[in-house]
Chains A and B, each alone.
Chain A
Amino acid sequence: QSALTQPRSVSGSPGQSVTISCTGTSSDVGDYYYVSWYQHHPGKAPKVMIYDVSKRPSGVPARFSGSKSGNTASLTISGLQADDEADYYCCSYALDSSLYVFGPGTKVTVL
């Protein structure tokens, strides 16, 4: 059972935007700016898309953006493309528990 909660799935048409939420507590997401988002195409290595809540690593398109409000972090994908279809996991630092806690993952479907 994950310490963070995410919607099981979200979907959108090409060109649209989708937002994935990641809800934690005041002991993890709410208390730290160490929230990352990972994209995972099955059978491949996960890839970090966002770190420190809203920062993008080099090479990640600006279509991917992150934010946080209270105990909930969010990942928004704008201008949805076919290759964005994947599972997305949030991860937060959590000093009081297991140091790093992941969400259960959200499947993004491009219609």
Chain B
Amino acid sequence: LQVHESGPGLVNPSETLSLTCTVSGGSMSTTDYYWGWIRQPPGMGLEWIGSLYYIGTTYYNPSLKSRVTLSVDTSKNQFSLKVNSLTAADTAVYYCARFSQQLWTFDIWGQGTLVRVSS
């Protein structure tokens, strides 16, 4: 199973970022896993953004909750991230990942996609 992020590499400040994660090699409609987003600003550490279950249950980092929306489209085996009211501080590499409930860890990650917020 693999996950792969896609979306724009450059977004204007104050606008909304939309990223999609495509799951291949397996179905995301399983009770064994959650699906999440993590980001890494340049020169900084990882930050968990949020996670969702295939039926649509969502969990958000409280520090980002007011600006973030996660959604899932099981028919396409995809899940998505939207971040609104962007600022330069949202510039980061965004990763999607699978969270295993058995191992209680993010066990499969995408390679990440760099998103720059700039006019």
Contacts and interface: CB of A to CB of B under 8 A. Distances in A.
Q: Do chains A and B stick together as partners?
A: yes
Given A45-B111, A46-B109, A104 B45 contact: yes
Interface residues on B, range: 20 to 34
B61 A99 contact: yes
A105 B46 contact: yes
Contacts, number: 65
B61 A98 contact: yes
B44 interface: yes
Interface string B91-119: 00001010000011111111110000000
A45 B111 CA distance: 4
B107 A100 contact: no
A81 to B, nearest CB: 22
Given A45-B95, A45-B112, A46-B95, A102 B107 contact: no
A97 interface: yes
Interface centre among A55, A93, A97, A102 (most CB of B within 10 A): A102
Interface residues of A, number: 26
A51 B59 contact: no
Contacts of B63: 98
Interface in B14-67: 38, 44-48, 51, 59, 61-63
15 contacts: A34-B104, A44-B111, A46-B109, A47-B109, A48-B103, A48-B106, A51-B103, A51-B104, A57-B107, A89-B46, A91-B105, A97-B62, A98-B61, A102-B45, A102-B46
Interface of B: 38, 44-48, 51, 59, 61-63, 95, 97, 103-112
Given A48-B103, A91-B105, 18 more contacts: A36-B106, A38-B46, A43-B111, A45-B95, A45-B109, A46-B95, A46-B109, A48-B105, A52-B103, A89-B45, A89-B46, A91-B106, A97-B62, A98-B63, A99-B59, A103-B45, A104-B44, A104-B45
